A and B are shown apart, each in its own frame.
Chain A
Amino acid sequence: MAIIVNLDVMLAKRKMSLTELSEKVDLTISNLSILKTGKAKAIRFSTLEAICEALDCQPGDILEYQDD
């Protein structure tokens, strides 16, 4: 997959657990797991905005493009 999700990296940087994040962004842990493991097919702007706000980061910190 060309788009890499670095959510686990950002969570580690902010020393935040997935459960804490799920409470802050009002998303289920299973949905965040889908995103974290790279199984997600799409991400809503609203979700991205909430995650960026909770982790105090930019979308580029979470999503990264890698050439296959």
Chain B
Amino acid sequence: MNSLKDRDSVYFSYVIINFLWYASCIGAILIIGFFISKHAFGITMAPLNINVPIDADYVTLQTDIESSAISTIDSATASLDTEYIIDNYFGRYIGIVLSLFISIALFLTGFFQLRMILKSTLNDEVFTSKNVTPLKVLAGILIAYSPLYWIFIQLFVVPLESELIVHKISISLGISFNLGLFVYGLLLFALAAVFEKGHDMYQDLKLTV
């Protein structure tokens, strides 16, 4: 039986995932460091973009077009100073920051599990119980991500937008329940079951003389 160690695809996948893992860790540290330095040293944060409803009549375009010819513009993106949110909606600001940290933690956990699976594959230990648990964790994260994202948006972003925009015509919330992730999560659960079965079969093989 060919060893998985000799397969270039496994090796290169591991190298790429390893690189991305360390890059993600550095990114997460930078984000956390950014928030710490913001509150410790008062560094200005990037503004938050919100969609403000506008009438096409109020839009001045660089090329002269009659406003009646524009039918699709009903909102524009405005940049809201984050300091304003901190001063006026501190609770929600904390909520948004916490949501961001939770998202980063979930992302890093998922990535770490993927890295562990590839590492054990590289060591030629595919069907082990060590690989089943990370797969289930990864599947759980993928399934939980979309509902969690939706809850965070509903809790912290939607109230903020509806308070800031009084005469709203339409608000682009940027929410999309990602069914793809949910399906991937289910697929990973199925894969975990396959790994579990593979682990049992491998144990049987090991105890066959």
Asked whether B209 is an interface residue with its Cβ less than 8 Å from the other chain, the reply is yes
B17 to chain A, nearest CB (A): 35
In the complex formed, the residue of A with least CB distance to B207 is A41
A44 to B209, CA, bound (A): 6
Q: Which residues 155-209 of B have a CB within 8 angstroms of A?
A: 203-204, 207-209
B81 to chain A, nearest CB (A): 68
B198 to chain A, nearest CB (A): 16
Q: Mark A22-33, 1 if CB is under 8 A from B, else 0.
A: 000001000110
Q: Which residues 1-38 of A have a CB within 8 angstroms of B?
A: 27, 31-32, 34-35
B208 & A39 in contact (Cβ 8 Å cutoff): no
* Chain B residues, CB < 8 A from A47: 209
B207 to chain A, nearest CB (A): 4
Q: Mark B124-162, 1 if CB is under 8 A from A, else 0.
A: 000000000000000000000000000000000000000
Most chain A CB neighbours (cut-off 10 Å) among B203, B204, B208, B209? B209
Q: Which residues 33-67 of B have a CB within 8 angstroms of A?
A: none
A63 to chain B, nearest CB (A): 12
A44 to B207, CA, bound (A): 11
* Chain A residues, CB < 8 A from B207: 34, 39-42
A10 to B101, CA, bound (A): 66
A35 to B203, CA, bound (A): 15
A34 to B208, CA, bound (A): 9
A32 to B204, CA, bound (A): 16
B179 to chain A, nearest CB (A): 42
A59 to B89, CA, bound (A): 81
* Chain A residues, CB < 8 A from B209: 27, 31-32, 34-35, 40, 42-44, 47
Which residues of chain B have a CB within 8 Å of any CB of chain A? 203-204, 207-209
Q: Could you name 23 residue pairs across A and B whose Cβ atoms are closer than 8 Å?
A: A27-B209, A31-B209, A32-B209, A34-B207, A34-B209, A35-B209, A39-B207, A40-B207, A40-B208, A40-B209, A41-B203, A41-B204, A41-B207, A41-B208, A42-B204, A42-B207, A42-B208, A42-B209, A43-B208, A43-B209, A44-B208, A44-B209, A47-B209
